[in-house]
Amino acid sequence: MLNLVLPIAFALVAAAFALSFWRLLRGPSAPDRILALDTLYINTIALLVLLGIQLGTALYFEAALLIALMGFVGTVALCKYLLRGDIIE
Amino acid sequence: MSSRLLPHPLLTPALAGVWLLLNNSLHPGHIILGILLGWLIPLFTLRFWPETVTIHRPLLLLRFTLVVLHDIVLANLVVARRILGRPEKLRPTLVEVPLDLRGDLAISLLANTICLTPGTVSARLSGDRRTLLVHALDAADAAVVRAQIKARYEAPLKEVFEPC
Amino acid sequence: MLDTLLAFLVLAGAIFTFIGSLGLARLRDFYTRLHGPTKATTLGVGSLLIASSVYFSHQGDGLSLHEILVTLFLFITAPVSAHLLAKAALHLNLPRLGKGADQEAGTSATGPDIATERPDR
């Protein structure tokens, strides 16, 4: 059952990637693009977790954790830049 | 005395727990190292934690957490239905919620809760920290949203962190 | 039994992740778009991580709980990024559909700003 479901899940997450990329390219404003990047990193975590289940290895988990950390910091830095015109005051 | 050696009694077990989760093991060595880190890190970062947190009613906090978890699942179903429905039918609204909470942690927790629960995202705290601007995805009446936030999320948080 | 539970969790997680991105692409103004990724994606990735935790606990090597860490982290950070994005959008006066609050949304955006500037420091 799991083997049946995994390809469908991969396809759905790939479609999610495509939709976020479309918003990233389309814009129209800077916060829209940041939100698209934010969604992309969350989608990446989903993809890595799925890959871990598919390949039966826990190695990808560390990568998912690091992406979660870095993605959050990146989003906050970009928002601060929009709000203040500067990141480190 | 205990406040000098153990400035943040809640931070120590939390850090130890995170350490154990990171290592994914319950080996005695990891437990000792986790407790040691949980004790040393608050000591050395004392200056970054100006506010001491006291939880007055732990059981109520637990109940609040369960309510929020339930609402998160509900929120996802609600938002998923709104997204799949016709976008023209949405009635987005900005709502101003007057705050009774004063503490930093309590206000941040409320703002986070609002973001995770049905159809609302907190947008801005006013300069005097008296009102929180909340964006609702689909609300017929701003007063209903305001009343729900105040009764369901703010009242328990106020009792847990700042009873009077 | 376990296989069915795993399949359900994986499928639900993938569907919610997809719906979150669909909301991002489909809705019409920035503020409504913000709702999709912050909520649907949180539950989507959350249930995928629970599935991963169940799967690796079942594989042997004892209980695998470190997935909880990522879930917890996402639940703490997703609202913060959503809040900051909404604040940035209000600051830039992005066009907004629907009814507003009593005051004009952009007017106090240049005033003292609590989340980044604390008066007591």
CATH for C2-96 (1.10.287, 1.10.10, 1.10.3470, 1.20.1510): 1.10.287
Mean pLDDT by 10 residues, chain C (121 residues): 86 89 83 79 85 82 77 85 84 71 43 38 32
CATH architecture of A2-84: Orthogonal Bundle (1.10)
Confidence check: pLDDT of B164 > 70: no
Contacts of B162 (CB under 8 A, 6+ apart): B101, B102, B103, B106
The whole-angstrom separation of Cα C68 and Cα B153 is 24
The whole-angstrom separation of Cα C8 and Cα C21 is 20
Domain segments of chain C: what residues?
2-96
Mean pLDDT on A20-35: 86
Mean pLDDT on B110-138: 78
Domain segments of chain B: what residues?
2-48, 58-161
Confidence check: pLDDT of B162 > 60: yes
What pLDDT score was predicted for residue B51?
66
CB atoms within 10 A of CB B33: 15
C-alpha distances in angstroms, A42 versus A17, A52, B135, C100?
10, 15, 22, 30
Residues of C in contact with A66 (CB under 8 A): none
Confidence check: pLDDT of A37 > 50: yes
Q: Which parts of B39-154 are beta strand (E)?
A: 93-98, 120-125, 131-136
CATH for B58-161 (3.30.70, 3.30.300, 1.10.3470, 1.20.120): 3.30.70
What pLDDT score was predicted for residue C101?
56
Residue of B24, B87, B142 lying closest to C27 (CB–CB): B87
Phi, psi for residue A52 in degrees, rounded to 5: -60, -40
For chain A, positions 13-72, list CB contacts with chain C under 8 A. 13, 15-17, 19-20, 22-23, 29-32, 34-36, 38-39, 42-43, 45-46, 49-50, 52-53, 56, 58, 61, 64-65, 68-69, 72
What pLDDT score was predicted for residue C117?
36
What pLDDT score was predicted for residue A53?
86
What pLDDT score was predicted for residue A11?
92
DSSP annotation of B87: G
Mean pLDDT on A33-61: 87
pLDDT in tens, B73-88: 887 888 888 888 777 7
Instruction: Name which of C38, C83, C91 to mutate to probe chain B: the one with the most chain B Cβ atoms within 10 A of its Cβ.
Output: C83
What pLDDT score was predicted for residue B73?
84
Which residue carries 């100006």 as its tokens?
B50
Mean pLDDT on A4-19: 90
DSSP annotation of C69: H
pLDDT in tens, B30-62: 888 888 888 888 878 777 776 666 777 778 888
Two tokens, residue C13: 């997680």
